[in-house]
Amino acid sequence: MMLLKRSLAGLGSLVLVAIIVALVAPKAVQAVVAAAVQVMNTSVNPVPTYDSGTRFQADLCYANGPVSQVLYCAQNPSASFVVPTVTSSGAAVKRLIVDNVSGICASYNNPTAFIKAVRLEGQFVPDSVANSEPAAAHYVPIVGPAYSYVNSPTAGGGLSSVPETDYSYGQTTRFSFNPGDTVTLYHVFFWPGSSATDGGCYARIDGTLATQ
């Protein structure tokens, strides 16, 4: 009987210890997690923040040549945009961060000419000019295969029997521009000889307006 009482007493002690651990442990874990995610946001070491409505989007079109100038940018003739200085909520913009560029291109009347990249050009970020350059250029390569064909004689609209090459592209980026900068779209042709180039590119610019 004495052995049974001692066994029950020992079991009771173990249960009591388990209850105490169950009550104390979650608080300890919470304290550790809270300490892990705490970030100091001071005037000396500010934490970058983004206004809730600061997603940025712009559609651009650049054309060079008789066919593309007449047809390609009819819906969106602008090849440039100006980076906003304030958000829709009135917050001052510190920088535009472009995180994705995508679109389509087409070239005409020269099957030996290929559009190999699109270029976004604007002022330097944050405030320096490297190598005395007047502007900064960011390139997005077109890496997919081009699709070449000759338009039908009945295509109309200036495309009848015109040789055409089509492209698509898209890339995650990390480009930056300052508020008030003018950003302009161009395309980059590769071709042999000195024959004329005729082509255009659409671009969708996606990014975030940083406000701190």
Whether 113 and 24 map to the same domain: the answer is no
Whether 44 maps to a domain, the answer reads no
Q: Is the pLDDT of residue 175 over 50?
A: yes
pLDDT in tens, 176-208: 899 999 999 999 999 887 777 899 999 999 999
> pTM here?
0.70
Helix (H, G, I), strand (E, B) or coil at 49: coil
State the total domains in the chain: 2
Whether 194 maps to a domain, the answer reads yes
Whether 72 and 174 map to the same domain: the answer is yes
Q: CA-CA-CA-CA torsion for 82, 88, 91, 92, nearest 10 degrees? A: 10
Contact 54, 207 (CB under 8 A): no
Whether 1 and 99 map to the same domain: the answer is no
Taking Cα atoms as reference points, which of 77, 57, 58 lies closest to residue 200?
A: 77
Q: What is the distance between the alpha carbons of residues 25 and 32, in angstroms, rounded to a whole number? A: 11
How do beta strands 50-64 and 163-177 pair? Answer: unpaired
Question: Residue 170's pLDDT is what?
Answer: 96
Q: Which domain holds residue 24?
A: 1-38
Mean of pLDDT over the chain? 79
pLDDT in tens, 60-85: 999 998 888 888 887 777 999 999 99
Whether 105 and 190 map to the same domain: the answer is yes
* Segment 37-49 mean pLDDT: 53
Give me the amino acid identity at 127: D
Whether 10 and 69 map to the same domain: the answer is no
